[in-house]
Structure 1
Amino acid sequence: MSKNILIIDDEASIRESLAGVLVDEGFAPRTAGSAEEGLQLLAEEEIQLVLLDIWMPGMDGLEALKLIRERYGLPVIMISGHGTIDTAVQATRMGAFDFIEKPLSYDKIIHTVDKGLHVARLELENQLLRESGPAKPDITGRTAIVETLREQIERVAPTDAWVLIRGGHGTGKELVAQTIHRRSPRHLQPMIEVNCAAIPEELIESELFGHVKGAFTGATEAKKGKFDQANGSTLFLDEIGDMSLKSQAKVLRILQERKFERVGGAKTIKVDVRVLAATNKNLEEEIKKGNFREDLFYRLNVVPITVPYLRERREDIPLLVAEFLRNYRHKGLGEKSMSPAAMALLMRHDWPGNVRELRNMIERLVIMSPNDVIHDQDAALFLGKDLPPAAPISLEEHQLHQLPFKEARKAFEVTYLKAKLAENENNISKTAEQVGMERSHLYKRLKALEIEVGK
């Protein structure tokens, strides 16, 4: 984490001496001779802590303290040569981290700065924990394709390599990016996200690189961009394939040079950013069409990761459904379960919207289903499907009642599977899909039940 300290004091000798002491201790001081100049620097640079004089011409330190705390939430150490107890109490109530009187003890300054940075770091970690909730999300699933995805994440996460995450709408590309960041050395700082498809072309430069005051109509004050905010952390460029060619050129330049200028500004800003990008488009095809820069593609595609479609891992659907039901129960939507027949219906659906569509469907079923158990009729209604015809059962109900439980269950299972095989003309793959089982699992079950296909 960088250690940029801003010194705001109208006395040049104080600024110079403080800056010299901070440099000797490994800090990177910035100086301003007025509150107004200091606020401008805060808007333009990444600052971790402010040393702020109280008595200055123009805007005084207390007024500046209020603005700094409101806008940036940074730790502020007040310094004054005319301090009183009332002033110190007022500054503390307004959010000052500490109050130091002149003449300054440089040992005390360094000690207080260290404490302020430590507290700020703890506050950031607590904020990240609150935002992530009681349990951090992870990739749900046990299929081979999901295990491969996990292995790829584990390998690339500890590095600084850039990653291009590819996959359809709703497959979980953002979750993959979050998992990579969370397991990286940059995890103590928040990952900064940009939805490239949601920002108008005329605003994307300002969004990414920031702007100076007066750069364009409506720019009433300077603003930091996403690259600024991600300095020392991770920048997630979602839907990168929807970015205009003009914006692609700008992004390519900063990725190559790791420096940029704000819109309307001339100052060059250097950044240390790890880039994760995601797209649902075939970028190779977009390059052929002239919609995406080939050089940007190769710059981003250092480590490619593909997130599978839900239809490619149907066996994970019960795990995902259980997770969603548990989450909605914690949100107060009630405790509900899924009947085997309803689960089988969900597993046969193609899910063009992938995991996002499944999650939305489960929420809809939890809210709208009248019973504690969600049945296949409920699922069929919301999926817009007709229920398959019930399989004929050869055993009479009174015969089943006379059998012990294990024998009755076996008899039902034999009759049910024979009926399903007959319905699908002994095609094991079709039968497995219809009953919601893996082909290999169904084959083993048929063998265990001594059911011969075609008999």
Structure 2
Amino acid sequence: MQKFDFLVIESDRSRVDAVMSALHFLGYRPQRGDESSAADESMQAWRGVYIGQVDDEAEAERQLALLGDTATHVPMLLADDSAWLGRFTATSSPFTTRVATLAFPLRYEQMAEAMRAMYARLLGGQGNGIRFVGQSAPMSHVNALIRQVAPFDSSVLVLGESGTGKEMVARSIHDSSPRRDKPFVAINCGAIPAELLESELFGHEKGSFTGAINTRKGRFEMAEGGTLFLDEIGDMSLPMQVKLLRVLQERVFERVGGNKTQHCDVRIIAATHRNLEQSITDGKFREDLFYRLSVFPLELPALRERLDDLSVLITEFNQRLARRGLGVVRFGTTAMHALQAYPWPGNVRELSNLVERMAILFPHGEVRASDLPEKYRGQQVCDEVRSSDLLAMMEGRAPVVADISEARSPVSTLGLLPEDGLDLKDHLADIEVGLIRQALDATGGVVAHAARLLHMQRTTLVEKLRKYGLQGSMAA
């Protein structure tokens, strides 16, 4: 049987029904105070209390005492006409910071907002500590959803391509929730053989199978009171799906080889890169389990859908590298243009790996498009090759092409004309754009300094930036 986690103290029967229904809808497991005669830790894990009309002071005090030590920190909802309102909202009251009031007739939206605001106060700065980096519209939407669902115990299903950061979302939800002081336990359901997954989830007794030399706790026990993250849930075998469904419905399980029923109090967050609805059609995933997990679906955008976040993501990864003792790296304008044009099949994980690789190769340096691994370079490297060739000729040196694969231009050097000719106007424009970008890279995007390098007036350079659509590179 599930543990009760929200105490309801109310003398009005109609209000009791309204409050209990709203709390059930928000994912809590409420218990009426007048139905409990004594505190029972095996059956209760209080996360909040509601106090409404109080007809019998002594009986209400008895019910409030059921909270035990948790009374010093659990959130409190008070009916705005409760006789105890003044007691808990007075300036001198230690309860003031964790009290929210409710008006009747009660609306679900009102209770949800009251709980959300109350947890935001309790969490303080931690409540806004979303780990997910990004300022683009898709990421603002994701972070808003994380903040909305975090205070409640509703199951969350995180969807998205591999590498988009599904575990980071799960951790953000946990860290912004009332369970943040309890364990966050993750398990990759697709990385563990089907025959071992049951033991990993539920634990096993000594001697229950070959190699079980000791009794071992499973992930459900490890996560007690906290959050269990089931990654790649779409790869779980059908027999295991049946066993998991029972635990989610009944909140009880037995260790492998054991016969003792154990209760569990965990929040479930699952994730997958698969299309579970298609898997249901194909007979590979249970429909009832899908609806049990997908109370609050949250879909992550691919990196190619949030390219506006490239700069802030690179900054974040540089900060992490610095904490590890690695040198940070700067990506120049041409490199950033190349990264903007890349499709990022590996998403944020691929970008993180690239930043680390460049930080090792160019510690505290600047990366240009030609420094990137070949698949990331795109057309930007052609501009650099043409520009470097022109500079070399202006200085009386022979043009140098680093690698024929890097120079995907119709002209590998300025001295050779292709057999089918070229558009001289467009070619000279490409060279000019390349030189302007190099000057901006060298001066950190400061237009006045770049103009001096190119021996032209600042106003002339500004006109060329507008002509070629390079205004985004302007800093001053």
TM-score, normalising length: structure 2 = 0.57
In the alignment, which of 449, 460, 463 is matched to residue 411 of structure 1? 460
- Is 1:164–2:157 an aligned residue pair? yes
> 1:290: which partner in 2?
283
> 1:253: which partner in 2?
246
In the alignment, which of 385, 393, 404 is matched to residue 432 of structure 2? 393
Q: Distance in 2 between matches of 1:253 and 1:205?
A: 13
Q: 1:226 to 1:395 in 2, by over 3 A?
A: closer
- Is 1:268–2:261 an aligned residue pair? yes
Q: 1:402 to 1:148 in 2, by over 3 A?
A: closer
Q: Distance in 1 between matches of 2:226 and 2:217?
A: 15
Q: Distance in 2 between matches of 1:232 and 1:370?
A: 44
Q: Distance in 2 between matches of 1:436 and 1:313?
A: 20
How much is the aligned-residue C-alpha RMSD, in angstroms? 3.3
> 2:57: which partner in 1?
none
Query: One-letter code of the match for 1:182?
Result: D
After superposition, the C-alpha distances for 1:283-336 in whole angstroms (9 at most, x for unaligned) are 011111111111100000000001110000101001101111222123222233
| 2:330–2:364 contact (8 Å) kept in structure 1 | no
Q: Distance in 2 between matches of 1:281 and 1:333?
A: 35
Matches within 5 A, 1:93-104: none
After superposition, the C-alpha distances for 1:165-196 in whole angstroms (9 at most, x for unaligned) are 00101101100000000011111012111110
| 2:202–2:255 contact (8 Å) kept in structure 1 | yes
Deviates more, 1:196-205 or 1:365-374: 365-374
Query: One-letter code of the match for 2:282?
Result: K
Q: Secondary structure at the match of 2:269?
A: strand
Q: Distance in 1 between matches of 2:377 and 2:223?
A: 44
After superposition, the C-alpha distances for 1:369-413 in whole angstroms (9 at most, x for unaligned) are 37711122112546364524352439999xx99977998444234
TM-aligned CA deviation for residue 142 of structure 1? 0.7
Q: 1:257 to 1:385 in 2, by over 3 A?
A: same
Q: Distance in 2 between matches of 1:306 and 1:249?
A: 25
| 1:392–1:416 contact (8 Å) kept in structure 2 | no
Q: 1:374 to 1:231 in 2, by over 3 A?
A: same
Q: Secondary structure at the match of 2:321?
A: helix
Q: Secondary structure at the match of 1:223?
A: coil
> 1:190: which partner in 2?
183
> 2:83: which partner in 1?
none
| 1:393–1:416 contact (8 Å) kept in structure 2 | no
Q: Distance in 2 between matches of 1:206 and 1:395?
A: 60
After superposition, the C-alpha distances for 1:71-125 in whole angstroms (9 at most, x for unaligned) are xxxxxxxxxxxxxxxxxxxxxxxxxxxxxxxxxxxxxxxxxxx9xxxxxxxxxxx
Q: How many residue pairs align between the two structures?
A: 297
Matches within 5 A, 1:35-434: 138-369=131-362, 372-381=365-374, 383=376, 385=378, 387-389=381-383, 391-393=430-432, 408-419=457-468
Q: Distance in 1 between matches of 2:366 and 2:376?
A: 17
| 1:344–1:436 contact (8 Å) kept in structure 2 | no
Query: One-letter code of the match for 1:414?
Result: E
Q: Distance in 2 between matches of 1:411 and 1:244?
A: 66
Q: 1:150 to 1:306 in 2, by over 3 A?
A: same
Q: 1:396 to 1:305 in 2, by over 3 A?
A: closer
Query: One-letter code of the match for 2:257?
Result: G
| 1:170–1:354 contact (8 Å) kept in structure 2 | yes
Structure 2 unaligned blocks of 5 or more: 4-36, 43-68, 70-128, 387-429, 437-447
| 1:181–1:191 contact (8 Å) kept in structure 2 | yes
| 1:345–1:380 contact (8 Å) kept in structure 2 | no
Q: Secondary structure at the match of 1:346?
A: helix
| 1:393–1:415 contact (8 Å) kept in structure 2 | no
TM-score, normalising length: structure 1 = 0.60
> 1:124: which partner in 2?
none
TM-aligned CA deviation for residue 419 of structure 1? 4.3
| 1:234–1:274 contact (8 Å) kept in structure 2 | yes
Q: 1:402 to 1:255 in 2, by over 3 A?
A: closer
Q: Distance in 2 between matches of 1:163 and 1:208?
A: 18
| 1:239–1:277 contact (8 Å) kept in structure 2 | yes
Q: 1:328 to 1:418 in 2, by over 3 A?
A: same
Q: Distance in 1 between matches of 2:181 and 2:435?
A: 65
Q: Distance in 1 between matches of 2:250 and 2:198?
A: 16
Q: Secondary structure at the match of 2:298?
A: strand
> 1:98: which partner in 2?
none
